[in-house]
Structures are given as structure tokens and as C-alpha cells.
């Protein structure tokens, strides 16, 4: 008798726990939502906010370089103008056109992902990555020309002695800013290729939200170049 009565509360507790779970006592998360988020909307908002915060820190980083450029150009305008004339206007303008086109294809890819048109989104992301690689190829070609023209600080630099100090500073800033931009672009290309593959395979839940975040990053890279282009290529050509 005592054994049977002691077993009854345990069974009742177990059945009550199961009933509680079945009755909604423990909330279940939708597919693709991870802790600590309650639902997909909250998770997407957090991811977007995280990207904006990251981009804000990157803007501050590049902002310091632009500020240094502005101070140096104000102090040595003639040297900066002469140095800017040594950059390749044709290649710089061509790269600007390439990046603006890639910004369009990325925006179209985001829209296709939102419409769940996975094949179209994959192709547009792939095209964006190809345009990014084209930009990198043109930029590396330009670096080669800079080296041949003796415009690379430390390695091989020669300039009019009257303007050499300011020109050297210009090209330090030129290689620093464009080099960092190229690193960011390379990261963007890797992301575009990764999500092109995911869109093609359709293996990730709520994939369009992730593509939107990649799009934010890509547009940031384009925006940085839009500011670099006139600073480096148009100083004495306007």
C-alpha cells in the first residue's frame, strides 16, 4: 500500500509537467531563431543594429584618416595637387563606375532575396562579387603603375624636391586609405560569394535578412570610395 501511494504523486507530477509543456507552459522558438531572442523579428533587429554599430566604428576609423588628409592638404595644397595629378584618373574613374554598378547589383540582390527569388539573388550576389574582383584587379594594376612611376613610399619614391615632402605624405595617405578600402572590399567579396552559395542552396532560414546585412556592409564600402575618389584623383582636376 505504501509503495503504491508514494509512486502516485511522482507519476502525477510527470504527467502535469508534460501537460504544461503541451499546453504552452514552455515557449518554443520558431525555426532559425536562437537564444536569447524571442522571435525572428527581434533577432533580425539585433543583427541589423549590430551591423550599424560596426559600421559606425568603421566610419570613425576612416574619419580619422580623412581628417588627417584635410589637415595635410590645407598645409601643403600645392604638393597635394601635384601628387594628385600623378594618380591615374582613368583607372580611378573606371573603378568608381565599377563600384557604383556593384552597388546597384547588391541592392537588386537584396530585393530578390526579400522576394524569395533565390536563383536571381544568387546570380546577382555572384555578379556583385565579380565586380568587386574587377575593382581589386584594376586597383592592383594601378599600384603596379605607381611603382613603375616611383610613387611608392619606402620602396621607391622620387618626386620634385620642392614638393617631395608634401607629395610623400599624400602617397602615404593614398596607399593607407586605398589599401584599407581594398581589405574591406575583399571581405565584402567573400561575404557576397558565401551568400550567393547559400541562396543557391536555400539552406538557411530567413536568409533574406542576412543578405540585407551583407548589403549594408557593401554599400558602406562603396560610400568610402565615393569620398576617396575626389580626394585622391580630383584635387587639381576640378
| Segment 163-199, tens digit of pLDDT | 999 999 999 999 999 999 999 999 999 999 998 988 8
What is the DSSP code string of 215-231?
Answer: HHHHHHHHHHHHHHHHH
H/E segment holding residue 3: helix 2-22
Other beta carbons less than 10 A from residue 5's beta carbon: 8
| Segment 72-98, tens digit of pLDDT | 999 999 999 999 999 999 999 999 999
pLDDT band (50, 70, 90) for residue 23: very low
Helix axes 164-201, 118-148, angle to 10 degrees: 160
Alpha helices in 76-153 (DSSP H): 77-84, 89-114, 118-148
Distance between CA 192 and CA 130 in Å, rounded? Answer: 9
* pLDDT for 203 beyond 80: no
| Segment 97-151, tens digit of pLDDT | 999 999 999 999 999 888 888 889 999 999 999 999 999 999 999 999 999 999 9
Print burial letters for 133-154: b (CB count within 10 Å at least 16), e (below 16): bbbbebbeebbeebeeeebbbe
Q: What is the pLDDT of residue 208?
A: 75
Cell numbers that stand for 117 in this block: 527569388
Q: What is the pLDDT of residue 45?
A: 59
40-233, CATH topology level: 1.20.120
This prediction has a pTM of 0.77
134 HSE (CA, 13 A, CB side): 17
Q: Mean pLDDT, to the nearest integer, of 34-60?
A: 63
Distance between CA 125 and CA 195 in Å, rounded? Answer: 7
Amino acid at each position: 500500500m505504501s509503495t503504491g501511494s508514494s509512486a502516485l504523486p511522482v507519476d502525477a507530477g510527470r504527467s502535469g509537467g508534460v501537460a504544461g509543456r503541451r499546453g504552452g507552459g514552455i515557449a518554443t522558438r520558431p525555426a532559425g531563431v536562437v537564444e536569447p531572442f524571442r522571435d525572428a523579428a527581434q533577432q533580425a533587429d539585433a543583427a541589423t543594429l549590430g551591423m550599424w554599430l560596426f559600421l559606425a566604428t568603421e566610419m570613425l576609423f576612416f574619419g580619422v584618416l580623412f581628417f588627417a588628409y584635410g589637415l595635410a592638404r590645407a598645409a601643403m595644397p600645392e604638393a597635394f595637387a601635384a601628387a594628385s595629378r600623378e594618380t591615374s584618373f582613368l583607372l580611378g574613374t573606371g573603378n568608381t563606375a565599377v563600384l557604383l554598378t556593384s552597388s546597384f547589383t547588391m541592392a537588386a540582390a537584396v530585393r530578390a532575396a526579400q522576394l524569395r527569388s533565390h536563383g536571381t539573388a544568387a546570380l546577382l550576389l555572384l555578379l556583385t562579387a565579380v565586380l568587386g574582383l574587377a575593382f581589386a584587379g584594376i586597383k592592383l594594376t594601378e599600384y603596379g603603375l605607381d611603382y613603375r612611376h616611383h610613387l611608392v613610399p619606402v620602396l621607391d619614391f622620387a618626386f620634385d624636391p620642392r614638393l617631395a615632402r608634401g607629395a610623400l605624405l599624400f602617397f602615404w595617405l593614398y596607399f593607407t586609405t586605398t589599401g584599407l578600402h581594398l581589405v574591406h572590399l575583399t571581405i565584402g567579396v567573400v561575404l557576397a560569394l558565401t551568400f550567393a552559395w547559400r541562396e543557391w542552396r536555400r539552406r538557411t532560414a530567413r536568409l533574406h535578412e542576412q543578405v540585407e546585412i551583407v548589403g549594408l556592409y557593401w554599400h558602406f564600402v562603396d560610400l568610402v570610395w565615393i569620398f576617396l575618389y575626389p580626394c585622391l584623383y580630383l584635387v587639381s582636376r576640378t
